[in-house]
Amino acid sequence: MSLDHRLSSEHEELRRTVEEFAQKAVAPKIGEFYERHEFPYEIVRQMGEMGLFGLPFPEEYGGMGGDYLALCLALEELARVDSSVAITLEAAVSLGAMPIFRFGTEEQKREWLPRLCSGEIMGAFGLTEPDFGSDAGGTRTTAVRDAKTGEWVINGTKSFITNSGTDITGLVTVTAVTGRKDDGAPLISSFIVPSGTPGFTVAAPYSKVGWNASDTRELSFSDVRVPEANLVGEEGRGYAQFLRILDEGRIAISALATGLAQGCVDESVAYANSRHAFGKPIGANQAIQFKLADMEMRAHTARVAWRDAASRLILGEPFKKQAALAKLYSSEIAVTNAREATQIHGGYGFMNEYPVARMWRDSKILEIGEGTSEVQRMLVARELGVG
Q: Which residues are part of the catalytic machinery?
A: 370
CA distance 291 to 213: 29
Helices (H), the chain: 9-21, 30-36, 41-50, 68-79, 83-90, 98-103, 106-118, 238-274, 286-314, 320-345, 355-363, 373-384
Q: Which residues of 117-131 are buried (b: 16+ CB within 10 A; e: fewer)?
A: bebebbbbbbbbbee
Selection from 329, 266, 337 nearest residue 295 by Cα: 337
Contact 233, 104 (CB under 8 A): yes
Residue type, 294: D
Strand partners, 232: 190
169-180 and 152-162 beta bridge pairing: unpaired
Selection from 253, 263, 363 nearest residue 310 by Cα: 253
186-194 and 231-232 beta bridge pairing: antiparallel
SS3 125: strand
User: What is the Cα 296 distance to its own chain's centre?
Assistant: 23
Q: What is the CA radius of gyration of the chain?
A: 21
Q: Supply φ then ψ for residue 155, to 5 degrees.
A: -135, 135
The Cβ of residue 277 has, within 10 Å, a number of other Cβ atoms equal to: 11
Instruction: Tell me the HSE value of 343 on the side-chain side, using a 13 A CA sphere.
Output: 12
Selection from 359, 379, 371, 376 nearest residue 257 by Cα: 359
What are the distances in angstroms from CA 112 to CA 56, 100, 139, 173, 285?
Answer: 15, 8, 26, 12, 55
